[in-house]
């Protein structure tokens, strides 16, 4: 696909999916997208097969520090899964069709549930660095400007022309996650809120942060929403988790500055908690459940 195009052909997604199916015996029902600094989630998998993105036909390449750039197939608590160690971002120069390319490939692999994680800035003043926010809804700012991965001719084999987004994040999965967090005694730092996506790569200005607060956003980041939109278009169930790695700067007298190194460091600190939470959520599903 040339950079001037805003979508891929069905056959292109299928070419990638078919290549993966011939190179692994794993038939995943769950896909996990690892956010910045959270690639350790792939360590959960056993009996792994690892594919660097550069080796997968038509797959984009990840260019951001904290994103390993490989697709990991394996088993998690007896469930067959696929894990993206590194996602793609609009700010890397990719269009939204390229950013979301893996999600439709996952659908063609037989995936039924998508778990998305990200590193995010805390807007809600009650949030603390290191909190995990269960995403209940999102605000798609790039979408307001026409940068929606579903732009262009609709492919009915994936989904309908006008998909509903009022139920983007699965309520039963959210409830299961809350119950699991309580059992693991990590519910004290499990939050629940609205994630807002901005295009990046700059962190937000103070005025922008004040605006997002007024709009009802609890956390802000530079990813996740396009993947969720495409996942829901395909009929996948979605669980979203944001790790609050920094507090946004909303005071003109503040000397604080958001930086990527801080995001990576908090990611390393909380990866083990996220790994445990995700693995237990997957493990608690019934053997024949689609999660």
Q: What is the pLDDT of residues 197-207, one digit of tens each?
A: 999 899 889 99
More confident residue, 2 or 130: 130
CA angle, 281 then 265 then 39, to 5°: 45
Of 42, 48, 90, nearest to 67 (Cα)?
Answer: 42
* Matching residue, tokens 């038509």: 58
Q: How many C-beta atoms lie closer than 10 Å to residue 148's C-beta?
A: 18
Q: How big is the chain by its Cα radius of gyration, in Å?
A: 18
**CA dist list (Å): 197 to 91, 142, 155, 191, 221:** 12, 7, 25, 18, 5
pLDDT number for residue 284: 81
pLDDT digits (tens, 9 = 90+) for 9-56: 999 999 999 999 999 999 999 999 988 767 788 888 999 999 999 999
pLDDT number for residue 40: 80
**Concatenated DSSP letters for 231-265?**
HHHTT-EEEEEEEEEEE----TT------HHHHHH
Task: Return the structure tokens found at 192.
Answer: 């629940």
pLDDT digits (tens, 9 = 90+) for 135-184: 999 999 999 988 999 999 999 999 999 999 999 999 999 999 999 999 99
Ordered by where they begin, the domains of the chain are: 10-283 (3.40.50.1580)
pLDDT number for residue 288: 46
pLDDT digits (tens, 9 = 90+) for 84-142: 998 888 888 889 999 999 999 999 999 999 999 998 999 999 999 889 999 999 999 99
pLDDT number for residue 4: 38
pLDDT digits (tens, 9 = 90+) for 257-291: 666 666 566 666 777 888 889 999 988 865 445 55
Under 8 Å between Cβ of 44 and 76 = yes
pLDDT number for residue 271: 78
Under 8 Å between Cβ of 70 and 51 = yes
The model's confidence at residue 250, banded by pLDDT at 50, 70 and 90, is low
**CA dist list (Å): 38 to 64, 120, 150, 178, 264:** 13, 12, 27, 20, 8
pLDDT number for residue 6: 54
Q: Which residues contact 164 (CB under 8 A, 6 or more apart)?
A: 232
More confident residue, 186 or 269: 186
How many alpha carbons fall within 13 Å on the CB side of residue 64?
Answer: 27
CA-CA distance, 66 to 71, in Å (whole number)? 15
Give me the mean pLDDT over the 233-255 stretch. 85
């Amino acid at each position: 696909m040339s950079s001037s195009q805003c979508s891929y052909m069905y056959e292109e997604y299928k070419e990638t999916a078919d290549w993966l199916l011939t190179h692994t015996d794993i038939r995943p029902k769950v896909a996990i997208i690892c956010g910045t600094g959270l690639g350790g989630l792939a360590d959960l998998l056993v009996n792994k097969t690892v594919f660097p993105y550069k080796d997968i036909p038509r797959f984009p390449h990840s260019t951001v520090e904290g994103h390993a750039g490989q697709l990991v197939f394996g088993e998690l608590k007896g469930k067959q899964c696929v894990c993206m160690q590194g996602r793609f971002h609009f700010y890397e120069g990719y269009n939204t069709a390229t950013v979301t390319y893996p999600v439709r490939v996952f659908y063609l692999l037989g995936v039924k549930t998508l778990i998305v994680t990200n590193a995010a800035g805390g807007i809600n003043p009650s949030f603390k660095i290191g909190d995990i926010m269960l995403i209940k809804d999102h605000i798609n700012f790039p979408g307001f400007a026409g940068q929606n991965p579903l732009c262009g001719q609709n492919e009915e084999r994936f989904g309908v022309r006008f998909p509903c987004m009022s139920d983007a994040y699965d309520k039963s999965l959210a409830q299961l996650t809350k119950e699991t967090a309580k059992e693991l005694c990590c519910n004290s730092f499990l939050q629940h809120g609205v994630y807002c996506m901005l295009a990046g790569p700059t962190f937000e200005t103070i005025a922008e942060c004040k605006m997002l607060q007024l709009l009802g956003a609890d956390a802000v980041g530079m990813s996740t929403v396009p993947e969720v939109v495409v996942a829901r278009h395909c009929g996948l169930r979605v669980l979203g988790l944001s790790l609050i790695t920094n507090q946004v700067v909303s005071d003109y007298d503040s000397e604080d500055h958001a930086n990527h190194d801080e995001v990576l460091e908090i990611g390393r600190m909380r990866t083990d908690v996220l790994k445990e939470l995700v693995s237990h959520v997957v493990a608690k599903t019934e053997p024949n459940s689609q999660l």
